[in-house]
Chain A
Amino acid sequence: MSILIDGTKKVLVQGITGREGGNRTRLMMEYGTRVTAGCTPGKGGREVLGVPVFDTVEEAVETRGEIDISVIFVPAPLVKNAALEAIEAGIRLLVLIPDRVPIYDVLEISEKAKEHGASFIGPNTLGLLSPGKATLGMIGGRAESARQWFEPGPVGVTSRSGGMTASVAYYLCRSGIGLSSIVHVGGDAVVGLPHPEIVRLFEQDPETKAIVMFGEIGTSQEETVADMIESGEVTKPLIAYIGGRQAKKGTRFSHAGAIIEGESGTWEGKVERLRNAGARVVEDFSEIPRVTLKVLREIKTL
């Protein structure tokens, strides 16, 4: 199985008539994603790659029936409006691709999503991909390369680094390890579904047997995952790598951060918390496949 996306989900693309929107719609459809509608205000009535375009999300939903997911490819300043529109039209999962979305806009989206029982991936995300099934966003760049690079299997990948998402996944597959789903949670400080939420979904997915997490310094996502392992909420083996060790210790931008977060956010803090909780922390990136293989053998999944 897989999390969040598979070939049965009906997908809307907001901003489908733009350069990125159009290119990525092609990738998604060629890979197996069911794109049923597009939306660009003022461009209703057209078609992009055979997909009907609507002026509003509500109209798309009325005409095409229930839509599960919206992938948003509009310029950053317009993301808030597009996201609020999709949530109010009843779409339960959004993928916010753009980079540089103002943080208060993200907070407003988050609040509205919670009210409506919706969730979102990103912003500043490459998206996600369930090998052999479907993809949302731009992982792999082209359907052909995505098909060559990623194989289905028992390992779930969650990453905070966009560039490294495909790398981790590719190097795992090259070592013969298939993947259930690959998720780039997004590179910003506040993201809709951070590592802990994705790890929770992998925990619930019966076919995911182990989880690989590419973490980074800053925020408290990795520490929260450590808490979840400790409390028994996460039982599947978790292999973690934390990037940013070389970054000089960031000067705190305010006392408030230090008062609230204490030691969380540092490389050392994250590695220690995860190790103590029982995660396998890998310090050399190229070791991830080997350690993952070992873990899969231990739990007799290989």
Chain B
Amino acid sequence: MARINEYQGKALLRENGIAVPEGGPAFCAEEARRIAERIGAPVVLKAQVWVTGRFAKGLIRFAQSPAEAYEKAGALLGRMVNNFPVECLLVEKRLAVAGEYYAGIIISDTRQRPEIIFSAKGGTGIEEIAVKYPGSLARTSVKLSDGFREYHAGNMIRKTGISGAAQRSLADILVKLWKTARRCEARSAEINPILETTEGQFLAADCRITIDDYAVFRHPELGIDIAREFDHPPTELEKIAYDLEKNDYRGTFYFIQLEKCFRKGEKYVGFHGAGGGGSMMSMDAIQRQGYRIANFTDTSGNPPASKVYRAAKIILSQGGIDGYFGSGSGVASQEQVNSARGLVKAFREEALGVPAVVRLGGNMEDEAVGLLTRYTEDLPGAVEGYKKDDPAAFCAKRLDELIGKAARKSKNQKRIEYTSRDLLRHAKVPREFKTLTGRVVFDHDRCASCESKICIASCDCGVLRLNEGLPVLAIPAEKAARGGCTECLACELECWFKGRKGAFVELPIPGLAENESPRQPEQDQGARL
């Protein structure tokens, strides 16, 4: 659930007609001073962080004068709260309180409808209040085609014993809160408290709104750059991973860094799962072996090889890991050959130096495991692949054994001299075409002397054909670029082992330093196929 800050939430409420206290966001102490000056009355300074009980934690302060606001803002800004620095304060006019109420909206999975909750008693401790005074609570679910109208709200509030003008004002707020939630597709939205001033005005004194991750794409106006709930500000790698995912709808890729500062030998492994349920069990298995998990990664939903490749590259770029553990449900319905190819390409390019154990059980597991182990034999790190009858616990144990072995004989490690990435650099007659997220390049100089022409037969999608003995596109270039070439990586890998090393699939990962596009070949660059 993508969370938005209180000040952003209040802006949404205001747009939908709900009164909020006078004020605005301040990103530095001077700004806080200016807002306090403009208000010309005592103010409250509220740190914009997602925690409950801000008042008790000293994250809400009062100031009598602009000078005091300046001073208190300086003390609050930059404080660390749950891994997040306080970067913004909401500076608002302090109000005289006559009453506090609660209004919330949530989506009920059992009723499959939005549900609206109102409490005649609001403020801190609302959950306890709800238990203690059930009579002060009213709830109703909304039929989307009917909507939620003033009389629905009035009938609801009535049950808590509120009538007359107060009922009318509160009903108005409830209806507008519903409109806000519906418009921005909120998973939850709440105002706590709705504040009644001594002058009889009703305002939203605090609010929390979370947006449906899956609907964020329809709401650029909300300015959410990562539609996920993180318990820390997104790291550089997480941003890189997220940006990749934004532009590729095939399958899903999820990457979270659990640890950043660790070194080799500290028993951290890179984790690459497939599917939430199986990943959870697999992480448990590796933790039982005494390892810690550097990152959580999930590629599932039948991802193409290119997505698995990028995920693996990002995992490996963390450095410092002692091993690579790939394990999902064990019996995957997705085509495991794609996963295997993605891993092989990443392992080769990174000249994998640590052991890797990958559980590739499921659809096409024999081909997948064969490919994974055969094509990584020359790498310094040992790579083992397992199938559906090999439990996660066994695979975790294998990884532990391999890591132990690697530590004992680290001196005479094999090295690989040349990777397919270098190939692009030295290509004499490069010919290329675009794919959905990258490009395929052939060095026709090498192809000319190639006997196997294995690239053609390896391309199951029928994207390639021979023209005068050289591989060229068999389908229109636009079609290849729109997904006709599935980025399965078969041509590159098969060519590397059975051809003349003349094929390379370039899949950029913007922002990943090691992956900067290799130097373009000098002559004749980028000629189209």
Contacts and interface: CB of A to CB of B under 8 A. Distances in A.
Please determine whether chains A and B interact with each other in the same assembly.
Answer: yes
Interface of A: 19-20, 75-77, 99-104, 106-108, 110-111, 126, 138-142, 145, 149, 159-164, 166-167, 169-171, 174, 187, 189-191, 194, 214, 216, 219-221, 224, 243-244, 246-247, 251, 253-260, 285-286
B311 to A, nearest CB: 16
Which residue of B1, B192, B276, B331 has the most chain A CB atoms within 10 A of its CB atom?
A: B331
A145 B490 CA distance: 22
B95 interface: no
Contacts of A191: 109
Nearest to B363: A141
Contacts of A138: 302, 333
Given A164-B275, A260-B115, 6 more contacts: A104-B144, A161-B275, A161-B277, A166-B362, A244-B277, A256-B117
Given A77-B217, A104-B182, A139-B333, A163 B277 contact: yes
**B interface, over-half SS:** mixed
Contact of B333 (A99, A140, A171, A257): A140
19 contacts: A76-B249, A77-B218, A102-B215, A107-B113, A111-B145, A138-B333, A161-B278, A161-B329, A162-B277, A164-B278, A166-B331, A190-B107, A221-B109, A243-B276, A254-B210, A255-B104, A258-B127, A259-B130, A259-B137
Contacts of A164: 275, 277-278, 329
A76 B214 CA distance: 9
Nearest to B130: A259
B243 interface: no
B391 interface: yes
A74 to B, nearest CB: 11
A257 B274 contact: no
Chain B residues touching A, range: 35 or more
A188 B483 CA distance: 27
A238 B139 CA distance: 33
A142 B364 contact: yes
Contact of A104 (B110, B143, B212, B300): B212
Given A103-B214, A145-B363, A246 B275 contact: no
B330 to A, nearest CB: 5
Contacts of B114: 107
Nearest to B274: A163
B185 A167 contact: no
Contacts of B126: 255, 259
Contacts of B149: none
Interface of B: 1, 3, 102, 104-110, 112-115, 117, 126-127, 130, 137, 139, 143-145, 182, 185, 187-190, 192, 208, 210, 212-215, 217-218, 229, 231, 249, 252, 274-281, 283-284, 287, 300-302, 328-335, 362-364, 388-389, 391, 393, 483, 486
A255 B192 contact: yes
Contact of A126 (B229, B278, B328, B333): B333
Given A167-B330, A260-B117, A224 B210 contact: no
Contacts of A243: 276-277, 280-281
A139 B333 CA distance: 6
Given A166-B332, A166-B333, A189-B107, A253 B1 contact: yes
A107 B275 contact: no
B462 to A, nearest CB: 14
Nearest to A97: B301
A220 B281 contact: no
B249 A246 contact: no
Given A19-B483, A139-B333, A141-B362, A111 B188 contact: no
Contacts of B281: 243, 285
B280 A247 contact: yes
Contact of A107 (B144, B389, B393): B144
A224 B212 contact: no
Nearest to A99: B301
Nearest to B217: A77
Contact of B190 (A139, A161, A255): A255
Contacts of B182: 104
Contacts of B277: 159-164, 214, 216, 243-244
A82 to B, nearest CB: 16
Contacts of B362: 141, 145, 166
Contacts of A163: 274-279, 300, 328-329, 331-332
A167 B278 contact: yes
B117 A259 contact: yes
A243 B280 CA distance: 8
Given A139-B333, A141-B363, A167-B330, A254 B104 contact: yes
Nearest first, the 6 A-B pairs at minimum CB distance are: A163-B275, A161-B277, A141-B363, A163-B329, A256-B104, A102-B215
A108 B112 CA distance: 9
A111 B144 contact: yes
Contacts of A216: 276-277
B143 A111 contact: yes
